[in-house]
Amino acid sequence: MLMETFTRKRPTDDLFTAGFSLRGWIHDSYPHSLGHVIDATLLNSDEESFDTNVECISLIMKLALDCSSELPRERINMQDARSTLQKIKKQFFPHL
């Protein structure tokens, strides 16, 4: 769901055919080309906080990748996912 939210793509989109998936697209783009898969409306390049926004979304996408590993034993558990989200929130939104 995180991947769909930040890319505005669905696993059923026409882009993902012949074994190519939303997760694979993000994985292949992480971390250096992540700007190409993130929904452009989320990243306004004119904002002074552009780099901070990219960093925040990058950490969230890393979490999404960790939660959706192909092998269940490689996925992080929900307690660790919650903890990671809380750390991201504290780092980027300390006032909330």
- The 3-class secondary structure across the chain, one letter per residue, is CHHHHHHCCCCCCCCCCCCCCHHHHHHHHCCCCHHHCCCHHHCCCCCCCHHHHHHHHHHHHHHHHHHCCCCHHHCCCHHHHHHHHHHHHHHHCCCC
User: Taking all residues of the chain, what is their mean pLDDT, rounded to a whole number?
Assistant: 90
Average pLDDT of span 18-34: 91
Does the pLDDT at position 60 exceed 80? yes
| pLDDT single digits (tens) 7-19 | 999 999 998 988 8
Question: pLDDT class for 36, splitting at 50, 70, 90?
Answer: confident
Compute the distance between CA of residue 44 and CA of residue 38 in angstroms, rounded to an integer. 11
Can you say whether the dihedral through the CA atoms of 34, 38, 25, 57 is positive or negative? positive
